Chains A and B, each alone.
Chain A
Amino acid sequence: EPEVTQTPSHQVTQMGQEVILRCVPISNHLYFYWYRQILGQKVEFLVSFYNNEISEKSEIFDDQFSVERPDGSNFTLKIRSTKLEDSAMYFCASSESGPVTYEQYFGPGTRLTVT
């Protein structure tokens, strides 16, 4: 069964450093998403991406965040200058087609710890 994969599974970084989280969506999917979940809190939407453009982003997704699809398979989330409050689980998701009706499938997540 095809699945979304993410690397690394755990990333530890110092405050102020840049991190790049990587995702490989399901191969025939066209819509890609990033979510985060701070420990003990609910899952929160960050951004959706289609056709090499951001479709929608949340208030959390400020200028410190960026996304990219550098090639035909990877989808990345970059945090330019990490803060302590960026510590969270980051989930990548993808959906086959139109985001309104198609279900999103999540990767296993990257646990980001900012010290």
Chain B
Amino acid sequence: RKEVEQDPGPFNVPEGATVAFNCTYSNSASQSFFWYRQDCRKEPKLLMSVYSSGNEDGRFTAQLNRASQYISLLIRDSKLSDSATYLCVVLLGGSYGKLTFGQGTILTVHP
């Protein structure tokens, strides 16, 4: 089983749509969770950390379910500029900063 697994997509949605991405992780000792976005041939950019209580940042909502080892990202009112690859990222407990990345989910928002 992959350490961090994401649906690779691609997701093609119209502007204004709501889209949700899911991610599962295999190691129950995982401690910290993040969503990054990556534009083509660019660096990963931190979108948001994911907390057990769930958190929201504008149009973006992240949820964590530790029991199911599942993380989600919801994007509301999609913009053209949201087109990117979304990376689910996990940090193992006891690790000294070793982030484990999923393969990424490709999102294309069209007019």
Which residues on A are within 8 Å of B, measured CB to CB? 31, 33, 35, 41-45, 48, 50, 55-56, 58, 89, 91, 95, 99-101, 103-109
Q: Name which residue of chain B comes closest to A95, CB basis.
A: B97
Please, how many angstroms separate the alpha-carbon atoms of A103 and B45 in the complex?
A: 10
Q: Name which residue of chain B comes closest to A35, CB basis.
A: B99
Residue of A48, A106, A108 most packed against chain B (CB within 10 A): A106
**5 A-B pairs whose Cβ atoms sit less than 8 Å apart in the complex:** A41-B103, A42-B101, A42-B103, A50-B96, A89-B41
Instruction: Select B91's contact among A44, A58, A100, beta carbons within 8 Å.
Output: A100
Complex contacts, B93 vs chain A, CB 8 Å: 100
The count of residues in chain B whose C-beta lies closer than 8 Å to any C-beta of chain A is: 24
Q: Name which residue of chain B comes closest to A45, CB basis.
A: B98
Instruction: Select B46's contact among A58, A101, A103, beta carbons within 8 Å.
Output: A103
Q: Does B10 contact A (CB under 8 A)?
A: no
Complex contacts, A31 vs chain B, CB 8 Å: 97
Query: Cβ of A103 and Cβ of B43 under 8 Å apart?
Result: no
A42-B102, A43-B101, A100-B32 given; A106·B96 CB < 8 A: no
Nearest CB of chain A from residue B29's CB, rounded to whole Å: 12
Residue of B87, B95, B99, B100 most packed against chain A (CB within 10 A): B99
Complex contacts, B102 vs chain A, CB 8 Å: 42
Instruction: Select B96's contact among A35, A43, A99, A101, beta carbons within 8 Å.
Output: A99
Q: Name which residue of chain B comes closest to A48, CB basis.
A: B97
Q: Which of B75-95 contact A (CB under 8 A)?
A: 87, 91, 93, 95
Q: Name which residue of chain B comes closest to A111, CB basis.
A: B41
Query: Cβ of A103 and Cβ of B34 under 8 Å apart?
Result: yes
Query: Cβ of B98 and Cβ of A58 under 8 Å apart?
Result: yes
Query: Cβ of A106 and Cβ of B95 under 8 Å apart?
Result: no
Query: Cβ of B32 and Cβ of A45 under 8 Å apart?
Result: no
